[in-house]
Structure 1
Amino acid sequence: MRRFLRYTDLILKETGYIFMAKQRDGVLDAMRGIGIVLMVVGHSGFPGSGFIYLFHMALFFMLSGYFFRLGEGVAGLRHFCVRRLLTLWLPFVAANTVFTLCNNLFLRLNILTSDPRILDLPGNQLTDPVTLKDIVGRTLHWCVFDGGTQLGGALWFVQALFQISLLYALVEFLLRRLAPGRDTLLPQGLVAGALLMVGWTCSRTGWNVWGLGIAASGYSLYYLGALVHRIGQPARKPAGRVLIAAGAFVVLLVLLPLGSVGLAANQYPHWLFLLIASAAGWVLVYECAHLAVLLPRLGQALSALGRATMPIVILHFLSFKLVTWLGLQITGGEPYLLAAFPTLFTGGAWWLAYTAAGLALPLLVYQPYRAVKQSILCRMRKS
């Protein structure tokens, strides 16, 4: 029993459910919030998605590196791996499994379709009914990050972050063993640089088996986040933050016609382009987050979104279906068009409707779930 309680405490601590822990940083939560808004906007059919794609997913890799912490010895590595299993691997497997379990229901509701006419819309695919054997087999594939579901398409990032964070922690562990007491930042930078060259080579050749090309490229972004944390950020007045944010925005505008970044497929024109775009994006969002928290309601809204990142990643594609369904009711389109992925309607203000649904519905689902979970965990702590 004591061992069980000890491991229960470990799980609670490692997943952040000890609510008496250190106070959250409102600016960093706002950065997450801005990042997740940009992700949903980028998937909504927004005409400026190319600009957002220059940096928005790199931002999340850098934020994760910014928060990297590894305890001492084997115990520290083990605790880190447990945390990543619970916060990354488990949501990936659970979300894709639930989407697979709901596959046949989604077919009946036209959320997915086997109608071949859907192929006339670019980027769409046919979906067949699944059997119990299919569900079991696919779940086993999800457990080793082999593929994923259409509605869980944004979970590629979770897979990449899992691979990157475990590799970074293992390298950190080995460096500490090889050179006890020495700073690991420089050798980690050398590893990051070498992996970036591997990732860029994979980008040029199109090789991305098991997402390892993405992981190689993303390792350098994770390292950049750890480097930013080490360097620190000076205090600035709001006017200075506006100027710096404007400068980063201009840099991104200059980069926009020179190439695009698609980290989901490990596509970018040059390794230096990726680093500059990612750094400029970090500066832009960092300064905007500082400005946002000066307005309490805006800061609180972004922080709430930042804390609900995983539910939004999992549910925003499904949430888009509500907007498509309402649009079909208005326009009288055929039911199979509800399966259009990720969106059906473009132009005008449709992207605003998709964005609102992609943020609000997951947040509505998450809040009662979070309240129930906190209540259960608090009772577990008291018993």
Structure 2
Amino acid sequence: MAKEEKRIAWIDVMKALLIILMVMGHTGSPFLIYIYLFHMSAFFVISGYTFRGEKYSVGAYIRKKFLTILLPAYAVNLVYTVFYWLMQQAGVYALVQTTEPISLKDRVLGLLLRYQTTDLGGATWFLLVLFEVEVLFRLYAWLAEKLGTQKVLWVLAAASGAVSYALKLHNTTTLPYMLDLALMGCLYFGIGVFLARTNVRQLLFRGCYVLIPVCVILTYYFGHIYFRGRLPMNWPSRNFKNVFLQLTAAFGPAYLTGLISMGLAKTRLCDALSWLGRRTYCVVVFHFAALRLVYAAGVALGGFPREQLAQLTPMGELTAHGGWIFFVASALLLSSLMSWLSCHYRVTDFIWNGKISRKI
């Protein structure tokens, strides 16, 4: 098996910035529209940028991603499923949920057969889709190897995005296990692979003095004018515009975030941000649970209304006047703490960090 690749500092920093933006998007940030222009697409791009699938056989690569992405995603959702079942058994389910109780059997079957998660695991849709994207792209790479040309990768990535948008455009029933989202993810993943394997990235950043003002204008136009009052892109709900519009709207903020990441990678903040960037898995799977812990503490201290316990995201009155900053900081700190504590034990490291300490 190939050795672990040397980490790229600015990529880890960019992951940290994107995960912060994701949490901001779930806590009432006033920058919501700007965040939803690009943050999930950018995650797929940087995942593609670090793609090294050809170093493994197809079977070995799929097994690796299954053990480090998909299986722990199921495991953490099983933990949340058991938690809600215990709340039902204790008679306090209504305190933490507004929906009708579901039997443990139905919850487990829904998770295993249809990847139906609890609200605490709501963000883990990304992990299933990322796993599928990784598998599809390794198969694309295998075909490219057989045909002897990398161009196959770019053609298949573009075709995947087109098929995904066509399914949405014609109101076709969504594919099982979010495969339609995986096809769209392949488009952005392919862009990341393309940037890593061609000289386009160097050309983009050499021309930064021209592109910076262009990207600022694009970001302002799409975030403040074109998409004013509505989400520009929402993956779980399949809220996509046409592919060209998506790419244009995402380019500006993604490019600026990449530049900022490269700059921060040369500062004293690099180590702290890189540390967070290496723990994005735990933030994805735990930040909603972290917010619930904050709600519980707030209710216990009399600072939050009791109804907040049953809400996934903070109520509007709690996020006003900069209150969202408290929730973002709390979720990130608690998720980071969970990641650090979990890494000391094999089972918890697997569930909360998606890491395998020893051979399984």
| Range of TM-score over shorter length | 0.7 to 0.9
CA distance in structure 1 between the partners assigned to 2:12 and 2:35 by the alignment? 19
Which of 342, 346, 352 in structure 2 is aligned with 1:369? 342
SS at match of 1:152: helix
Contact 1:96 1:152 (8 Å CA) reproduced: yes
Structure 1 residue 316 displacement after superposition: 0.4
Equivalent positions of 1:44-55 (< 5 A) are 44-55=27-38
Structure 1 residue 205 displacement after superposition: 4.1
Residue 196 of structure 2 corresponds to residue 229 of structure 1: yes
Residue 159 of structure 2 corresponds to residue 194 of structure 1: yes
Residue 65 of structure 2 corresponds to residue 84 of structure 1: yes
Please give the per-residue CA displacement for 1:74-108, whole angstroms capped at 9, x wherever unaligned.
x6111210111012111210111010011134458
Structure 1 residue 58 displacement after superposition: 0.5
SS at match of 1:265: coil
Please give the per-residue CA displacement for 1:9-62, whole angstroms capped at 9, x wherever unaligned.
x5xx6xxxx7xx553211111011111111111111101111101100101101
CA distance in structure 2 between the partners assigned to 1:309 and 1:203 by the alignment? 29
Contact 2:24 2:32 (8 Å CA) reproduced: yes
Partner of 1:121: none
Contact 1:53 1:262 (8 Å CA) reproduced: yes
Distance 1:139 1:68, change over 3 A: same
Contact 1:214 1:265 (8 Å CA) reproduced: no
Residue 183 of structure 2 corresponds to residue 216 of structure 1: yes
Distance 1:380 1:352, change over 3 A: closer
CA distance in structure 2 between the partners assigned to 1:78 and 1:343 by the alignment? 43
Contact 2:29 2:324 (8 Å CA) reproduced: yes
The answer for unaligned runs of 5 or more in structure 2 is none
Distance 1:379 1:223, change over 3 A: closer
Distance 1:164 1:125, change over 3 A: farther
Partner of 1:7: none
Contact 1:38 1:56 (8 Å CA) reproduced: yes
Structure 1 residue 172 displacement after superposition: 1.7
Partner of 2:243: 271
Distance 1:90 1:333, change over 3 A: same
Distance 1:326 1:50, change over 3 A: same
Contact 1:40 1:358 (8 Å CA) reproduced: yes
Contact 1:323 1:353 (8 Å CA) reproduced: no
Q: Which stretch of the first structure deviates more once superposed, 319-328 or 25-34?
A: 319-328
Partner of 2:135: 166
Contact 1:242 1:287 (8 Å CA) reproduced: no
CA distance in structure 2 between the partners assigned to 1:379 and 1:158 by the alignment? 20
Please give the per-residue CA displacement for 1:323-357, whole angstroms capped at 9, x wherever unaligned.
32344356565534311122223312221011011
Q: CA RMSD in A?
A: 3.2
Which of 323, 331, 336 in structure 2 is aligned with 1:350? 323
Contact 1:244 1:284 (8 Å CA) reproduced: no
User: What is the identity, as a one-letter code, of the residue corresponding to 1:294?
Assistant: K
Q: Which stretch of the first structure deviates more once superposed, 320-329 or 24-33?
A: 320-329
User: What is the identity, as a one-letter code, of the residue corresponding to 2:41?
Assistant: A
Which of 44, 63, 68 in structure 2 is aligned with 1:61? 44
SS at match of 1:267: coil
Residue 261 of structure 2 corresponds to residue 292 of structure 1: no
Equivalent positions of 1:96-245 (< 5 A) are 96-106=77-87, 113-114=93-94, 125-128=98-101, 130-131=103-104, 133-134=105-106, 136-141=108-113, 146-177=115-146, 179=147, 182-184=148-150, 186-206=151-171, 207-210=173-176, 211-232=178-199, 233-234=201-202, 244-245=211-212
Contact 2:346 2:357 (8 Å CA) reproduced: no
SS at match of 2:54: coil
Distance 1:224 1:379, change over 3 A: closer
Distance 1:332 1:230, change over 3 A: closer
Q: Which stretch of the first structure deviates more once superposed, 223-232 or 342-351?
A: 342-351
The answer for unaligned runs of 5 or more in structure 1 is 1-9, 119-123
CA distance in structure 2 between the partners assigned to 1:326 and 1:216 by the alignment? 41
Please give the per-residue CA displacement for 1:112-141, whole angstroms capped at 9, x wherever unaligned.
8436xx9xxxxx84141533x345424422
CA distance in structure 2 between the partners assigned to 1:109 and 1:57 by the alignment? 37
Relative to the length of structure 2, the TM-score reads 0.84
Larger radius of gyration: 1
Structure 1 residue 242 displacement after superposition: 7.8
Please give the per-residue CA displacement for 1:209-250, whole angstroms capped at 9, x wherever unaligned.
321221221111011000110124339999x86875554233
Distance 1:134 1:359, change over 3 A: same
CA distance in structure 1 between the partners assigned to 2:254 and 2:83 by the alignment? 37
Q: Percent identity?
A: 24
CA distance in structure 1 between the partners assigned to 2:22 and 2:305 by the alignment? 29
Contact 1:96 1:149 (8 Å CA) reproduced: yes
CA distance in structure 2 between the partners assigned to 1:379 and 1:355 by the alignment? 30
Distance 1:57 1:379, change over 3 A: closer
Relative to the length of structure 1, the TM-score reads 0.80
Q: Which stretch of the first structure deviates more once superposed, 21-30 or 309-318?
A: 21-30
Distance 1:234 1:334, change over 3 A: closer
